[in-house]
Each structure stands twice: as C-alpha cells, then as structure tokens.
Amino acid sequence: MSSVIKVASEKVSAVELVAAALEKAKKFAEYNVFTSLNEKAALAKAAEIDKKIARGEKAGRLAGVPYALKDNFSSREGKTTASAKMLENYRAPITATAVKKLEDEGAIMIGRTNLDAFAHGGSTENSYFGATANAHDKTRVAGGSSGGSATAVALDIVPFALGTDTGGSIRQPASFNGVYGMKPTFGAVSRYGVVAMASSTDTIGVLAQTAEDTQMLMGLLAGKDEKDTTTLDDFLAAAKSEKLKIGVISDFMGEGVDDEVAKLTKDYIEKLKKAGHQVSEVKMPILKYALAVYYVVVPAEVASNLSRYDGIRYGFRAKDAKTLGEIYSKSRDEGLMPENKRRILIGNFVLSSGFFDAYYLKAQKVRTLIIKAYNEMFAKYDVLVCPVAPTPAFKIGENTSDALKMYLGDIMTVPPSLAGLPALSVPAGKTASGLPIGVQLIGARRSDAILMGLAAEIEGLK
Amino acid sequence: MSENMAKDMHKNMYADMYEMTVGIECHVQLATKTKLFSAVDNDARGKEPNACVSPVDYALPGMLPMLNSQAVVLAVRMGEALGAKINPRSHFDRKHYYYPDLPKGYQTTQFYAPIIGAGKVVLPNGHSVRVEHAHLEEDAGKLTHFGDYSLVDLNRAGTPLIEIVSQPDIHSAEDARLYAEELWRLATYAGVSFGDLYHGNMRFDVNISVAEKGAAKLGTRVEVKNLNSFRSVERAASFEFERQAGLLAAGRGAEIRQETRGWSDATGKTTTQRSKEEAQDYRYMPDPDVPPLNLSAEFIAGILAEMPKLPAAYRAAFAGAGIAAETVEIILGHQILAVRLLEVLELDAKLAVKVANLFTGTLLAEENAGLDLSVASGERLAELAQMNEGGELSSTATKQVLVELYDTKNSEKSAKILAKEMNLLQENDDEALEKIILGVLDDPAAASAVADVRAGEMKAVGFLIGLIMKNSGGKANPARARELLLKKLG
C-alpha cells in the first residue's frame, strides 16, 4: 500500500500525523536533515484541516499528509535559504507553483531540507549549514543536492519530499538513501518560485517511499503554468501496461562502475525480464561526452542565474563594503560557497568573448547530438536502464578536495538532463555493507508515466 | 578678425575637406499596457518610485519571464514601418553586466537573432538610411545619486524597447536630425510608441566618425550616448564633426579615441564618459527561460492587416492634392492632423489645400497651443473650408471659426452654426450692401476719398472698403463691396 495513501487514510488526526513527523525530525537531528522546521505553522494548519474534516468539508487528496520541502522552493512559510549564506535571511513573498499545488491538496510542510548551496553539488556537503548524513550510514553522505529531502524520506520522517534535479540532484540522493526519486520531463512541473540553478535543465520532482506515491504525486504537480513559459500541458495521465522494449546502456555497466552496483543493477534487469519485458543491451558511445557538455552549459547558466545575488535589493550584503564595487565583490565573496564560485568562474569563462564559440556553442552542438542519439534509441526502445551512480554513498569528506572526482559521480545522471528526458531512480537493494543502490529508468520525453508504471509493476513483484 | 569669424572660416574649411559618417541607434519605448516580461503597469508617469515593480522585475529568486505578446505585435508593426523583413524565428539573449538599476544582473535582449531584419528609412529630403536590424529588449531602472548614497527606482526596469540600429549612411548633422524625426513619425504613426521625448520614450545614440573626403577608410568611431531630442542629435553630430575635424586638421588625429561621450544641452559640448579599453565583456548567452519566438505567416499577416497608415502614404496623397511639401512636413508632425486632412482630401482635394494652410497658419500657431487637435472631424473642417471658398466667410472669420471648432464644448456644432452664432457670415445680400455703401458715400469723413476715386486715384478705394467693412460689422464680402462701390462711382 502506498505510504502517502496509508497516512492519509489512517484513523488519526492531521495534528497527530504532523506532531509525529516533527517529533521524528527532532529525534534525527544529528543527521542535519532540515535547515528549519515549520513547527508552529504546520501544527496550526493540521488543526485547520482536522476542523475541515470534522465539518465534512473537502480537505484535499493529501489532507494532513506531512512532507518535507527542499530549501530552494519559495514559500511564505519560513525562510528560503537555498542553504546559502547569501539567502540565510531571505523570506519569499510568493509561493512556488509546486508548493501551492501541494498546499491546495492539504499537504503540510513540516520543514525545509538541506541541500548543496544553490543546489551546486552531489553530496550536500556544499551547504552553508553543513553536510547531511546518509540515512543508512551516518558517516556517509546523503548525496545531493536534494540530500536533506532523500534522508527525510528514508528515515521515514515524512512519506515524501519535494526536490529539484538539474543533473541528478533527485536521483542520486534517492539512490544513496534507497528511496524513489523522479526527475520528470523538462517542463512537466513549473519551476516558478524555485531558486534557479540551470534554467535549461532544472526540473522539479518528488522523493517518495513507493512507486505508487511517486506516480500520484507527480500527477498532482505536473501541468501548464503561465508563470513558467517552458511548462508543457499535462501528459502524465496513465501508463500503458503492455510489455516494453528495454535497452540496457552497456557503456555504463562496465569500467568505472562499482562491482556491487553492477551486480544489483543486473539483478533488477533480471526482474524486468521475469516480468516479461524484452531486454537487450545497447551502446551509446556519445554519452561519454555528456559530462563535459554538462560542465560547460550548466556553469554558464549558473553564472548567469546567480548574477542577481548582488547584495543590492535583498540577501546578504557585506558589512564593511564601502563602494559599489565592494558591495558586489565582498557580498558575493562572503555570501557564496567555494563550489558556487567555481561554477561562476567556469561559466563566465566559457561565455566570455573569444571563448564562447569554442566552449559554450560547441557544447550546445554536442548536446544536440546527444539528443539525436536518444531519439534514435527511443525509436527502438521504450525504456533505457543503467545505474544511477557508479558507486554507493561515499564517506563524508572523501571527495571534497577533488572536484573532478565529485563531478565524475554525475556521469550517469547528467545525460538525460541534457536531453530533457524523464528519469526515475528505483531502489534496487543494498550492498553487503548495507548501502542502498538505485537503478535508473530513462524514457523518451513525455514518457514519465511509463517509467513510473514500470517501477510500480516491478515493486509489486516483491 | 573676430573669434566668431575665425570659427566660421574653420567650419567652412572643415566642411570642404572632411566628411562625417554617422550611424544611429535608437531606443523606442513601446506603448504596451504591461512590461516586456511581467504583468505590471508599463506607464509609471506620475507614480511613486518602485510603484510599478513585480517580483519578476525585482529579480527575486525563482522568478521567470513571461513574454508580453503585445510587445511582439508592436515589434512586427515597427518592422513594417521600417520597410523591414520580419524574422519568423527570433530568440532572446542575456547581456550580462552589474549595475544597481539592472536587477537580474543581465538585460534580456535579442543579440543573436533579432525579430526585425534589414530595412530602409527614406528622409523627407529624399536621402535614405538603411536599417541594419531592430530588436526587442527590456529597459533598465533609474538611479538617482545623492551625496554619499544613491537610490534605485525600478519603475522603468522591464519596460519594452525596440532598438533600431542604422547603417552608417548619414553624412550630415541635418540628416541625423531628419532621420531621428522620421523614426519618431514612423513609431508614432504605427502606434508603436507614444513618442513622448520629454519622458524618454525615444533615446538616440549617435556614432560618428570623421575622415577626409574621399578617404577609403572611415575615421575612429565615437559614440555620443543618450540624446533625447532631435535638436540635440543635430547639435551633437555637428559638435563632434567640428571637434574631430579640428583635431584632424591640426594633425592631432591620434587624439580621437574610440570612446563613449556624453552630451550636455547646456554647454553644447560632448565630454568623455568611457573609453573602449574599459569596455565590458557582456558574455551574451541565449536565454533559456524564454522559448524562441516563432511567428507564423498568418500571425504576421493579421497584424499587418490592421496596420495604421504610415507617413509615406500621407506624403504621396497630399503631394497629389498639390499641398506644398513644406506644409506637408509640418502637418506630419501631428498624426491626427494628417488623418483629418486625408478625410478632407477624400471629400474634396481643393478644400484640402485650404485646410492644410489653416492647420499650419492658424491651428498650429503659438497662440492656439493647447488645443486638442483631435476634436474637429474632417467633415466639419471641409464644411468650414467650403464656406470660405463660397464667400460665406472671410479669411479672418474662417480662422476665428476654426479655433472655435477645436473647442471641445463646440464638438457637436457644425462650422455653419458656429459662424452664425458668432455673427460672422458675410453679407452677400446686394440690397443690404448697397444701403451701407450709400451711407458711406454720404459720410462727410469719406468725402475726400470719394473725390480722389472719382479723379482716378484708385488707392483711395481701400479706405472706402475699410469703412464699408466697419459699418457692416465685418460681415460684408469685400470683393462684392468693391464691385458695387465702383459701379456706384461709375
């Protein structure tokens, strides 16, 4: 049974549900899951919903269900920090469309979850508020950038959480913590009100405990929003339940992939076969360029999107800044994390006069070739399969001194992001030492429902 | 030799030896209801600072642009007015720089693929200026500097602009002004802009270089930025020509630097603002938040079907009716008068000539400033001109009625009714007129003039007609009075 539906249908009050979630959040404080708890407002809202139910009024499909919100979504409840000193005291005057949709269904946000500052990173170690620990091993990273959201769901503090995925930020922490993590087709869910990282690959999705919940929640979140002109009309209706043609991306099954990761992925593929789906190996050699393309295009957009944090209108302003130049340089120097600055530097370099053609434009051309390669593949296959990440969760501090090694961890999640494809991280068991592993299901644009339907089908076989 | 004479001599010498080459970038503020990317009032006139600012304009985290379709429609119209190709596919780019009046840290503009392609503007003197392209972009806010602090007003931030970039086809300060004026006419006639120069609706950047006549290579280019009147465009071009020619003539051409200069109306001079070495790298990048603009042929055709008439159409019609070119240019300065004159012309071409002269001679005279030029319809104007033509109204009376026609409280009254009310209809009744003439002839004060006329001194006729007009209360038709008077004096 779906945990969200279970929660919603349990004969307990919304206040009890929310109080229990808040209690768990406090109990697991050492994991550093939350940047702030929304205790007062959440309990007041829960009481409101209980009254509505008592009066026999409609309270929404998620009435009283507590959830956690990645701290880069604007909401009028609490501060929207993006885990950055720059926005440490920023209170949004608007509500993100995704948050509004959940609120309208009666869901209750109990706290804001930790992330790499401005979602730059894959371990949540780049947070101004410190790293979040993995739900299965406190000495290991939660993954990132939606590390707090993944750990919150894995520790069962909440049945689901909202996240954002630009190059793997939902899928990888979901994999590291053993929960479902859905990155939808680009444009499926409105980005309005979400602190932008890279506009052309930013997506909004959920981290949940079951495939069924993932499906239901994505259905609620998706749809056209006039405030985000890149959104698509809702296409998440129902999945076809026929037998699928599935391709296993062999490029991501060999060298550089942890043995246990490869083994657990193969086990999952066996389940797919047993369920009657037609599985074969495919080669996509072009994908080896995806990481290089990603780390040109995304920093360019990052540098541009972070230009607004200038210490003038809101956000952090360095106290000792005396001139306009100093307001800019000192506020940004002190308000941004080293990883933010690294990406801004790379981005401004690849956009600068004389280098634009050689880097940014070239990268966009290769990106087009990657999209073409996927299109050709999806003419023959319904779903592609590969691991989410080459390794299970690594130790906190293990990769922090080596940015390149950290970036290499994104090698399997980045390609679908560049092509705007839906991709789902499905829990696929644990390593001998008890670390969860996720398998990635990738589909053609707008085939999100097929991926979630397939995951639900395999989940049901257990 | 006085200093001024020396200056004039130099001027003439420079004009013989050197030639200026000018290209103009013009920013036109669009007359849209809301801003380019946010649903906030685009007209901040008379409003408190920062009263017209949305979270999008303020560049809060997570805010996304929503392209204003009205701005796209106006851009298509502007393209048509410039005789330019409308590009079916264009997109927006980000131009990055830091300044407190630029909330996002970048201006959203069209750098790589503008909506309007190459076009051409023909000046009233027949010279033509090619348009390289024109693009949509957003305006920045405004800074006001005080002692040790500055205040930011973002009311203007996000206002839609069209930047029109000309080719360097202009070779005189006068043509620079004529081009600026023609752009103003095109933008206002097409309904693209209110064209309120006082409120900065149009701003001009003049790029000017000077070289010896016939030289194969252009001189060093200097940009004079942010000119907000036609006169300043002409004066700045003229000043720069003399400054640069002076340096060239003195063998100090190397001192002409590629730079941005500012213009002061008060001093009549340009001064250095920023040199090329300090120029910024804008790191242009396609804006991933605004989908590319794809305009179908049907969409463009639909806009062009509703296109208002442009100055060229009026010029052709008015010239065809025999209205003097100079008169036409003055009238074209007021679109509503051109519209009314065309209404008259469609009724009667001969009357149009009369109405045109009434416009330039009377309606636009300084003492009538402040009249609402839209009040009188073509029909009412034609009636007025017809009454003058038919001898019912004297020229003076016609002018008097014209001014009343434009009084809003008379908007329901015809020229004839007004003339009657004002008691200005001419006396064409011979019997009444003869009575007045006989009275004058009997007037002892007229006796010597009467004698003079009888003796063949025709100069004295004027004096007698003056008396007749006076006694008729100004209503006598002077031509008929003259005929009858001479008959009497036989």
| DSSP notation for B340-401 | HHHHHHHH-HHHHHHHHHHIIIIITSGGGTT--TTSS-HHHHHHHHHHHHTTSS-HHHHHHH
Same domain membership, residue B313 and residue B268: no
Residue with tokens 């103009």: B24
Residue B2: what pLDDT?
63
Stated as kind and residue range, the H or E segment containing A201 is none
Residues of A carrying an active site annotation: 70, 145, 169
Residue A410: name the closest of A425, A439, A388 by CA: A388
CA–CA separation, B89 and B113 (whole Å):
8
How confident is the model over A266-287, as a mean pLDDT?
97
Provide the domain count of chain B: 3
**How many C-beta atoms lie closer than 10 Å to residue A324's C-beta?**
15
What is the per-residue burial (b if ≥16 Cβ within 10 Å, else e) of A373-396? bbeebbeebbbbbbbbbbbbbbeb
Same domain membership, residue B183 and residue B252: yes
Residue B483: what pLDDT?
86
Mean pLDDT check: name the lowest of A14-18, A145-149, B125-129, B423-427.
B423-427
Residue A5: what pLDDT?
63
Same domain membership, residue B368 and residue B276: no
Same domain membership, residue B456 and residue B399: no
Report helix, strand and coil shares of chain B as percent, to nearest 5: 45, 20, 40
Q: Do A328 and B98 touch (CB under 8 A)?
A: yes
Q: Which domain holds residue A199?
A: 3-221
Residue B455: what pLDDT?
84
CA–CA separation, B171 and B181 (whole Å):
16
Report helix, strand and coil shares of chain A as percent, to nearest 5: 45, 15, 40
Q: Do B60 and A93 touch (CB under 8 A)?
A: yes
Residues of chain B contacting residue A296, judged by C-beta atoms under 8 Å apart: none
- Region of residue B109 (left: phi > 0; alpha: psi -120 to 50; beta: else): beta
- B482: amino acid identity, one letter: R
Residue A103: what pLDDT?
97
Residues of chain A contacting residue B100, judged by C-beta atoms under 8 Å apart: 310, 312, 324
| Closest CA–CA distance from residue A457 to any residue of chain B (Å) | 36
The answer to whether residue A394 sits within a structural domain is no
Q: Is the pLDDT of residue A82 over 70?
A: yes
Query: Which residue of chain A has the CA closest to B108?
Result: A304
Contact (CB, 8 A) for A14 and A108? yes
Q: Is the pLDDT of residue A305 over 50?
A: yes
| Closest CA–CA distance from residue A308 to any residue of chain B (Å) | 4
Q: What is the reported pTM?
A: 0.90
Same domain membership, residue B446 and residue B414: no
The more confident residue out of A180 and B413 is A180
Residues of chain B contacting residue A191, judged by C-beta atoms under 8 Å apart: 62, 64
Same domain membership, residue B404 and residue B358: yes
Residue A8: what pLDDT?
62
What strands, in cross-sheet order, belong to the sheet with A436-443? A34-37, A108-113, A66-70, A160-165, A203-208, A180-183, A423-430, A436-443, A383-387, A245-249, A278-282
Q: Do A192 and B62 touch (CB under 8 A)?
A: yes
- Report chain B's terminal Cα–Cα distance, integer Å: 65
Q: Which residues does A376 contact at the CB level (< 8 Å), separation at least 6?
A: none
Same domain membership, residue B247 and residue B163: yes
- What HEC string does B219-284 produce? CCCEEEEEECCHHHHHHHHHHHHHHHHHHHHCCCHHHCCCEEEEEECCCCEEEEEEEHHHCCCCCC
Residues of chain A contacting residue B288, judged by C-beta atoms under 8 Å apart: 198-200, 230, 301
* Predicted complex ipTM: 0.95
The answer to whether residue A321 sits within a structural domain is no
Provide the domain count of chain A: 1
Q: Which of B233, B263, B294 is the last residue of a domain?
A: B294
Tell whether A361 lies on the interface with B, counting CB pairs under 8 A: no
Residue pairs between chains A and B whose CB atoms are closer than 8 Å: 97
Query: Which residue of chain A has the CA closest to B93?
Result: A304
Residue A1: what pLDDT?
42
Query: Which residue of chain A has the CA closest to B59?
Result: A308
Q: Which residues does B345 contact at the CB level (< 8 Å), separation at least 6?
A: B317, B318, B321, B352
Q: Which residues does A204 contact at the CB level (< 8 Å), separation at least 6?
A: A98, A162, A163, A164, A165, A184, A189, A190, A191, A194, A221
The answer to whether residue B299 sits within a structural domain is no
Q: Do A74 and B285 touch (CB under 8 A)?
A: no
The answer to whether residue B304 sits within a structural domain is no
- A217: amino acid identity, one letter: L
Q: Which of B246, B263, B294 is the last residue of a domain?
A: B294
CA–CA separation, B485 and B490 (whole Å):
8
CB interface of B with A, residues 344-403, below 8 Å: none
Same domain membership, residue B244 and residue B159: yes
- CATH number of the domain within which A196 lies: 3.90.1300.10
DSSP A357: I
Spans of chain B, pLDDT less than 50:
none
Same domain membership, residue B344 and residue B198: no
Work out the widest C-alpha separation in chain B, in whole angstroms: 98
The answer to whether residue A14 sits within a structural domain is yes
pLDDT in tens, B266-313: 999 999 987 766 668 999 999 999 999 999 999 999 999 999 999 999
Q: Which residues does B438 contact at the CB level (< 8 Å), separation at least 6?
A: B488
Same domain membership, residue B262 and residue B178: yes
How confident is the model over A50-65, as a mean pLDDT?
92
The answer to whether residue B236 sits within a structural domain is yes
**How many C-beta atoms lie closer than 10 Å to residue B470's C-beta?**
12
Residue A235: what pLDDT?
83
Q: Which of B421, B444, B479 is the last residue of a domain?
A: B421
Sign of CA dihedral B349, B351, B353, B356: negative
Residue B443: what pLDDT?
87
CA–CA separation, A65 and B412 (whole Å):
69
Residue B277: what pLDDT?
60
Same domain membership, residue B236 and residue B105: yes
CA–CA separation, B475 and A244 (whole Å):
100
| Closest CA–CA distance from residue B288 to any residue of chain A (Å) | 5
Residues of chain A contacting residue B60, judged by C-beta atoms under 8 Å apart: 74, 92-94, 314
- A44: amino acid identity, one letter: A
Q: Which domain holds residue B455?
A: 430-489
The answer to whether residue A261 sits within a structural domain is no
Query: Which residue of chain B has the CA closest to A300?
Result: B285
- CATH number of the domain within which B456 lies: 1.10.10.410
Q: How far is CA B160 from the centre of its chain?
A: 21
Q: Across chain B, how many H-helices and E-strands are there?
A: 16, 15
How confident is the model over A292-300, as a mean pLDDT?
98
| Closest CA–CA distance from residue A306 to any residue of chain B (Å) | 8
Contacts 24+ apart (CB under 8 A), B309-313: B309/B189, B309/B338, B309/B339, B309/B342, B310/B81, B310/B186, B310/B189, B310/B190, B311/B182, B311/B185, B311/B186, B311/B189, B311/B338, B312/B122
Residue A246: name the closest of A373, A374, A416, A377 by CA: A377
DSSP, collapsed to helix, strand or coil, labels residue B30 as: coil
Tell whether B149 lies on the interface with A, counting CB pairs under 8 A: no
